[in-house]
Amino acid sequence: MAIRLHNTLTRREEELVTRDPGRVAMYVCGPTVYNDIHIGNARTFLSFDVIRRYLTWRGYDVDFVQNVTDVDDKIINRAAEEGISSAEVARKYTEAFLEVMSALGVTEPTHRPKATEEIPGMIELVERLISAGHAYESEGDVYFSVRSFPDYGKLSGRDIEELMVGARVEPGERKRDPLDFALWKAAKPGEPHWPSPWGEGRPGWHLECSVMSEKYLGTSFDIHGGGADLVFPHHENEIAQSEAASGEPFVRYWLHGGMLQVNAEKMSKSLGNFVVLREVLAHYPSDVFRLLALQTHYRSPLDFSNERLDEAQAALERLETVVRNLRWARDVLPQPAGAGEEKHAALLASVERAREKFAEEMDDDFNTAGGLAAVFDLAKVANVFLSENPRLSAEDIDALGLTADTIVALTGVLGLRVAEVPEAAYPHEVVTLARELAGYEGDDESAAVAALLAARDAARAAKDWTVADAVRGSLEELGLRVEDTARGSRVVVGG
């Protein structure tokens, strides 16, 4: 089955047909590095990380480019506030950005170009646009002439007359037409600047994405992504710059993520209602935020609240517990008669159905909520199987192992690391305890716990309750709980 994706440009769901067979060339606008990113920004970056992961899982070779906007008015203002240079502000927040992306498990792009390192390419594109009659110089600024590009407005669905309403030339701008936008800005005192044919200056914001995407991905590349707030003017202007210069379609599929919001209001730096990602990651495992984000389709608004974060944490823990229990079933002694052929076949069918459903949902414009539901349904089935069938045959045990592997693999496609959650460590005192109560001679905590359990089982079989209770009591003093189940006993860390 083919992957279908919603294209902002055509406002329809379309089948993915890539420019080059088997490859996806993909560009996602990166951050402006003037402070710590908030969880709204993070939601967008996470959505495209998952889209990239899924395309990779479906067998595509994905070239993923994301820029860093490290020259911008906001950076300049921040530098003045902090009393450091713009370059230092950009360096500090680029580092902070990379750190939180890595903590969130976002895959590193194939290329991560910085605006300040691509100035020559930007100057070249401006020159091409001027000589083609799409841009003009005005006292050291260069502007793109919007009326020279008849397709302007096709992405956002606006027409030029509508845009003219309320448009005006701001003080200090030297445009011929209020619709025009800056490609290059003459340097003002104290701002970062580079030499150019129009004098010292710096690039306008939209320019870099046109330049970097073409440099690393070529023209008519496959997927361009960003938050929905970038459709106008940023992406509209990228299209104008790139298509006016090359005469070719800029992008095949435009994908836009919905806004993360609090109390039905977009989270943004300017509204001041933002939570920085670093803060969330200080209090919750990164997968909790990932799961919360993936419970909503990437194009829909995502309502954020602390309650939803706690609910996501509980859901993630349920999944981890199921996987742990399934893995644990691997270690039980197989019985000749297990759950029986019918139940066994039903479990295997559920595994197969979960895989199919997951791919079906994800093929449908990357419906992560549907994909997750398929995995959680399988987890529920596995849980029922475990509780209803105290005796497991070797085939049952295999099927349960396959169930665990499937849950881990499918959540792994979404970037969740369910399998990596370690069983909380046993304290080293269990070794001493095992020496005293079970004659254990090694130095390994897990082996010591196993020896203690064996000693307790033997004591219980011999109806020696004093020894059995002593083992349980001493473990409890170390914060370890003994759990007796239909398939034997085990030790659990904590409550």
Nearer of residues 41 and 241 to ligand AMP, judged by Cβ: 41
Specify which residues 65 forms β-bridges with.
27, 111
Nearer of residues 53 and 266 to ligand AMP, judged by Cβ: 266
Q: How far is the CB of 238 from Zn ion (least distance, A)?
A: 6
Q: How far is the CB of 178 from Zn ion (least distance, A)?
A: 23
Considering only 25, 29, 33, 96, the residue that binds Zn ion (CB under 5 A) is: 29
Give the x/- contact pattern for Zn ion in 71-90, rule: CB under 5 A: --------------------
418 binds, among Zn ion, ligand AMP, none (CB under 5 to 8 A by kind): none
CA distance 242 to 214: 8
How far are the Cα atoms of 163, 177, 196, 273, 375 from residue 182, in angstroms, in the given order?
16, 11, 15, 30, 49
Cβ within 8 Å of residue 226, ≥6 positions away: 28, 29, 44, 234, 235, 256, 257
Helix axis angle for 445-461 and 465-477, nearest 10°, is: 150
475 binds, among ligand AMP, Zn ion, none (CB under 5 to 8 A by kind): none
Nearer of residues 93 and 440 to Zn ion, judged by Cβ: 93
Q: How far is the CB of 182 from ligand AMP (least distance, A)?
A: 17
CA distance 490 to 481: 8
Q: Please, is 316 exposed, middle or buried when counting C-beta atoms within 10 Å of its C-beta (0-12, 13-18, 19+)?
A: buried
Q: How far is the CB of 207 from Zn ion (least distance, A)?
A: 10
SS3 state of residue 198: coil
**DSSP output for 367-386:** -HHHHHHHHHHHHHHHHHHH
204 binds, among Zn ion, ligand AMP, none (CB under 5 to 8 A by kind): none
Nearer of residues 72 and 137 to Zn ion, judged by Cβ: 72
Q: How far is the CB of 39 from ligand AMP (least distance, A)?
A: 8
How far are the Cα atoms of 205, 260, 302, 307, 411 from residue 294, in angstroms, in the given order?
30, 12, 9, 16, 11
Nearer of residues 268 and 489 to ligand AMP, judged by Cβ: 268
Q: How far is the CB of 184 from ligand AMP (least distance, A)?
A: 20
Q: What order of strands is seen across the sheet that includes strand 201-203? A: 135-138, 141-144, 181-186, 201-203
Contacts to ligand AMP by CB under 6 A: 29, 31-32, 40-41, 43-44, 226-227, 229-230, 257, 259-260, 266-268
Nearer of residues 237 and 393 to ligand AMP, judged by Cβ: 237
41 binds, among ligand AMP, Zn ion, none (CB under 5 to 8 A by kind): ligand AMP
209 binds, among Zn ion, ligand AMP, none (CB under 5 to 8 A by kind): Zn ion
Nearer of residues 205 and 358 to ligand AMP, judged by Cβ: 205
44 binds, among Zn ion, ligand AMP, none (CB under 5 to 8 A by kind): ligand AMP
From start to end of 32-89, where are the E strands?
61-66
Task: Show the tokens assigned to 429.
Answer: 């005192």
Instruction: Residue 230: name the closest of 156, 311, 324 by CA.
Output: 156
Nearer of residues 205 and 250 to ligand AMP, judged by Cβ: 205
Tell me if 17 sits within 8 A of 55, measured CB to CB.
Answer: no
Write the DSSP symbol of residue 459: H
Nearer of residues 41 and 313 to ligand AMP, judged by Cβ: 41
Q: How far is the CB of 42 from Zn ion (least distance, A)?
A: 17
Residue type at 230?
L
Tell me if 480 sits within 8 A of 488, measured CB to CB.
Answer: no
For Zn ion (CB under 5 A), the number of binding residues is 2
Specify which residues 481 forms β-bridges with.
492
400 binds, among ligand AMP, Zn ion, none (CB under 5 to 8 A by kind): none
Q: How far is the CB of 246 from ligand AMP (least distance, A)?
A: 24
377 binds, among Zn ion, ligand AMP, none (CB under 5 to 8 A by kind): none
267 binds, among ligand AMP, Zn ion, none (CB under 5 to 8 A by kind): ligand AMP
**DSSP output for 284-343:** S-HHHHHHHHHTS-TTS-EE--HHHHHHHHHHHHHHHHHHHHHHHHTTSPP-SS-S-HHH
Q: How far is the CB of 187 from ligand AMP (least distance, A)?
A: 23
How far are the Cα atoms of 35, 155, 296 from residue 424, in angstroms, in the given order?
35, 51, 30
Q: How far is the CB of 304 from ligand AMP (least distance, A)?
A: 9
Under rule CB under 5 A, residue 209 binds Zn ion: yes
What is the contact surface with Zn ion in residues (CB under 5 A)? 29, 209
